[in-house]
Amino acid sequence: MPKDKKPSRQKIFTLLVQIGRKEGDGLPDKATGAALMVYAGGVDEAEAVRETVAILKQADTAPLDVTGYGTMEEREADGHDINDEERELMQRAMDENAVIVAQMTPFFE
């Protein structure tokens, strides 16, 4: 690592985002919305939420609510079981400085 490059203060947070319907959102025809499990980076959870909402809006979705579940370390301390696939997606979010949608569950009423 170059001397002038500071270590990243970014952490990866697990977020659950509820989205509503919007023209061109890509959800199934009869869906009323969806829940997205997302891994996103930030120096704190508030920054991760802001980045996630901004990117989801750019992707023509309508974010309604975000619930934060903390970092991997915080989740482990709370007793969450984090499998290898989830760890790989979190690492990818860190490596690529990306918002990763790990799962999408449409809602039907």
Query: What is the predicted pLDDT for the residue at 4?
Result: 56
Q: What is the pLDDT of residues 8-57, one digit of tens each?
A: 688 999 999 999 999 989 999 999 999 999 999 999 999 999 999 999 99
Domain residue spans in the chain?
11-107
Q: What angle do CA 101, 106, 109 make, to 5 degrees?
A: 160
Query: What is the predicted pLDDT for the residue at 1?
Result: 46
Q: What is the pLDDT of residues 81-107, one digit of tens each?
A: 999 999 999 999 999 999 999 999 999
Strand order in the sheet with 33-42: 62-71, 11-20, 33-42, 100-107
- Give yes or no for residue 2 having a pLDDT over 70: no
Query: What is the predicted pLDDT for the residue at 109?
Result: 84
